[in-house]
Amino acid sequence: MRDVTRSPAAAAPPVLSSKLRDILSLEDLEPAAKRYLPHCIFSFISGAVETNASRHENRAAFQDYDFHPRVLIDVSARTTTKTLFGGSFSAPFGIAPMGGAGLAGYRADLALASAAATENVPFILSGASLVRMEEVAKANPQAWFQAYLPVQRDAIAALIGRIEAAGFRHLVVTADVPVGGNRENLVRAGYTSPLRPSLKLAFDGISHPRWLFGTALRTLRHHGMPYYENSGAERGMAVFSNAAVRAHLRDSLSWRDLAWIRERWPGKLIVKGLLSPSDAETARQTGCDGIIVSNHGGRQLDGAAAPLRVLPRIAEVAQGMTVMMDSGLRRGSDVLKALALGADFVFIGRPFLYAAAIGEADGVRRAIDLLRSEIHRNLAFLGSRDLSELHGRVQRIAR
Ligand code: FNR
């Protein structure tokens, strides 16, 4: 009998280790990663800010909508493929940029990049990544680059020059970090950026030996001390330091800087971290090719709107500009709701980093496959042959 629950993968599935066979949904990844990771690093990934209100609402927003399926439609040839900026991908989701990924899993930036390449989904390399962008671009020539802009124009120009020379064709500028979020939960958990050597940190590491040997010592042995390799044209600071202070201050950046970048960046320009239709209009007028509607996974302004709730109004003003979304998506059903409400594509963060931590590239491939399979299965239930046939299938619940 034909297997109707799996989507056609981009490559043969990896042989799964027992730990990955037990992962049956993206939600299973968090408890597995919690066991693997030191408490402070798990808190860094899972955490949000202040009361965690936005992180909570990001998930809750999906419950505001339900499905209205159509039946007895021949969906035997259904497909999860989706085009984005002229490329054809095996699924309508990609991997969001996540800084410090290499603290969680061995060379996690590369694991994420190569898994995305094998499974043919987009991957965005964070500007706060720990593997040189040139190496990542070799592992995944389709990868996008996300920049945290420096404030000086000459530093921006030098960074853009490096990104272009490395071969990236998609530049994502993150706009929702004018200052660092108030991550008091991280202070409690003992996480700082950079990490400060301390007894508490040492104990946290030693009490998680699989991470200590599989990620930390393995990285140090083969690659030495990890650095923020891609924050500018030159290597940034080390991830462990007693003295260094990480600058988060970008509060002088404005749309004028975006317009200036637009004149210099020849590839696709995408702004990440918008929640307002007015900002979406400004992005379009500035010549951006796309936006990612996002509240940074609830990690910046606590109480910032859940992206799903503002998505329909933003999609209305997009007028042809590509609208993407992230924050809180965990299920194939979430992805389908976001697409039905106006997203052209979505991105997912934390679960893929948990997957890279516990299972490296195979773990990420497992996560991609699970999510894509859920979308493929749900398309059948919805009576949709492809992702353009979602009209009327998702409606707001009248309460
Ligand atoms: C992030 N995010 C992020 N965003 C960005 O533009 N640049 C970055 O370097 C980072 N770093 C980062 C690290 C970690 C550990 C996390 C969890 C997130 C935000 C990320 O791109 C995305 O917006 C959210 O993760 C999406 O929410 P979910 O899917 O994690 O709920």
Annotated catalytic residue 248: no
CA of 298 to the centre of ligand 1 (A): 9
Ligand 1 close to Cβ of residue 326 (< 6 A): yes
CA of 392 to the centre of ligand 1 (A): 31
CA of 254 to the centre of ligand 1 (A): 21
How far apart CA 116 and CA 123 sit, in angstroms, is: 6
Best residue for ligand 1 mutational test, from 29, 229, 296 (most atoms within 8 Å of Cβ)? 296
Cα(349) to centroid of ligand 1, in Å?
5
Separation of alpha carbons 177 and 40, rounded Å? 22
Supply the residue whose CA is at minimum distance from atom 14 of ligand 1.
Answer: 98
Sheet holding 93-95, edge to edge: 93-95, 345-348, 322-325, 290-293, 268-274, 170-174, 144-147, 124-125
| Structure tokens, 19 | 């730990």
CA distance 306 to 308: 6
What string of pLDDT tens digits covers the 399 residues of the chain? 344 455 556 677 777 888 899 999 999 999 999 999 999 999 999 999 999 999 999 999 999 999 999 999 999 999 999 999 999 999 999 999 999 999 999 999 999 999 999 999 999 999 999 999 999 999 999 999 999 998 899 999 999 999 999 999 999 999 999 999 998 888 888 888 888 888 888 999 999 999 999 999 999 999 999 999 999 999 999 998 876 666 657 888 999 999 999 999 999 999 999 999 999 999 999 999 999 999 999 999 999 999 999 999 999 999 999 999 999 999 999 999 999 999 999 999 999 999 999 999 999 999 999 999 999 999 999 999 999 999 999 999 987
Using DSSP, state whether 24 is helix, strand or coil: coil
Using alpha carbons only, how large is the chain's radius of gyration in Å? 20
Question: To test ligand 1's pocket by mutation, which of 59, 98, 348 has the most ligand atoms within 8 angstroms of CB?
Answer: 98
pLDDT of 2 reads: 42
**For position 183, what pLDDT does the model report?**
85
Where helices occur in the chain by DSSP H, the ranges are: 18-21, 29-36, 39-46, 53-60, 101-104, 108-119, 133-139, 153-165, 184-189, 199-206, 209-211, 218-223, 255-264, 277-285, 307-317, 332-340, 350-382
CA of 71 to the centre of ligand 1 (A): 37
**Centroid of ligand 1 to alpha carbon of 95 (angstroms):** 9
- Nearest ligand 1 atom, CA 58: 31
Mark 67-100 as b/e (b = at least 16 C-beta within 10 Å).
Answer: eeeeeeeebeebebbbebbeeebbbbbbbbbbbb
CA 174 to ligand 1: nearest atom: 6
Give CA angle at 169 (283, 228), nearest 5°.
Answer: 90
Query: In angstroms, rounded to a whole number, what is the distance separating the alpha carbons of residues 153 and 332?
Result: 41
Residue closest by Cα to atom 13 of ligand 1? 98
Which protein residue's CA is at the shortest distance from atom 6 of ligand 1? 174
Q: Could you tell me how far CA 221 lies from the centroid of its own chain?
A: 28
| CATH code assigned to 18-185+245-396 | 3.20.20.70
- Of 170, 208, 296, 376, the catalytic one is 296
Give the single-character DSSP code of 106: T
Q: Identify the pLDDT of residue 151.
A: 86
- Rounded to whole angstroms, the Cα distance separating 304 from 2 reads 45
pLDDT at 241: 80
Q: What is the residue whose two structure tokens read 């991830």?
A: 239
- Mutation pick for ligand 1 pocket among 299, 300, 308, 331 (CB with most ligand atoms within 8 Å): 299
How many Cα atoms occupy the beta-carbon half-sphere of 364 within 13 Å?
32
Q: 349 in ligand 1 pocket by Cβ < 6 Å?
A: yes
d(CA 318, CA 15): 42
* 330 CA: nearest ligand 1 atom: 29
Distance 352 CA to ligand 1 centre (A): 11
Q: For residue 69, what are the β-bridge partners? A: none
The CA-atom distances, in angstroms, between 148 and each of 91, 206, 264 are 27, 33, 17
| Structure token pair of residue 7 | 């989507």
Q: Which of 340, 336, 337 is nearest to 372 (CA)?
A: 336
Ligand 1: which residue has its CA nearest to atom 15? Answer: 45
pLDDT at site 200: 87
Q: Judge if the beta carbon of residue 163 lies within 6 A of ligand 1.
A: no
| Separation in Å, CA 366 to CA 25, 37, 146, 378 | 9, 19, 24, 18
